[in-house]
Amino acid sequence: MSAKATRQVFGETIAKLGEKNPNIVVLDADLSKSTKSDIFAKKFPERFFEMGIQEANMVGVAAGMANAGKIPFICSFSCFITGRFDQIRLSLAYSNANVCIVGSHAGVGIGEDGYSQQGLEDIAVMRSLPNMVVIQPADEIECASALEFLADYEGPSFIRTTRQNLMAVHGPDFKFQLGKSDTLREGDDVAIFATGGAVQGAVQAHEALKADGIHARVVNVASLKPFDAEAVVDAAKSCKGGIVTVEDHQIIGGLGSAVAEAMAEAGVGARLLRVGLDSFGESGTPEELYRHFGLDGAGIEKSVRKFLGK
């Protein structure tokens, strides 16, 4: 299967879901060609709403549509839409509105546009809302399956999609499960928990480490809230070297924090290394930035070796 950006998968999948459910509507904030909601717009122009550069207003309109029985998917760059946190907090989360927020162009993987366009704090703020579902798929198969789930889910949700292409890490029969992670590679020397664009690098690191006799478990975490704490506890107990988390996001408030919280609450003593950003993003190609921040296969391998003292 060829590599595909999850933003493209969103556009293709939501158009297919729109055929099955006439209540699905899509709203965009002047970025439909980038978020790929234009695919839905061409197919169902009467159910697509171009809101202009008014993300806050878009949130309010979507809440009203949800109250009227529609199923809105609202789209923008992740940094722009989650930046309207006050409106999301009150109009969607507090009201328990059935609205899915689609945050596109997440992380440094957006590339040359630089930090002002890179969603790097979005998971942290969305995780902080009590009833917000937070999902970040690792490839096109998982993304399509997650969107099928969200089309039937009732309540506020957030799905994070990529600009860059992602290689498939799942087989064609894979089905997304809310609140569950999935183990892509087995190992008991160390566990690598990864999410989104960083997952393919974690798989590559596994292969490189395996060639040197280091067996790394690779766990894909698409459901960031609700979170699979059991998988973390199991890894902390069974992987003697500890846990490494990898994310194209700030290490504070994202996957690394979720893993640390799960370990602390369970009273499990294990070493933890968080790989991600604790800085502002930079401009460069996605490949350059993943290499610079240690999110590619070679970078993750290097971090794991240093963590293990090997």
CA–CA separation, 205 vs 220, rounded Å?
Answer: 14
DSSP annotation of 119 reads B
Ranges assigned E (strand) in the chain: 24-28, 48-50, 71-77, 100-104, 133-135, 157-160, 182-185, 190-194, 216-220, 223-225, 243-250, 272-277
Task: Give how far the C-alpha of residue 125 lies from the chain's centroid of Cα atoms, to the nearest Å.
Answer: 13
Q: How many alpha carbons lie under 13 Å from residue 107 in its C-beta half-sphere?
A: 30
Q: How many CB atoms lie within 10 A of CB 72?
A: 27
Active site amino acids: 55
Secondary structure (DSSP) of 216-272: EEEEE--EEETT-HHHHHHHHHH-TT-EEEEEEEESSSSHHHHHHHHHHHHT----E
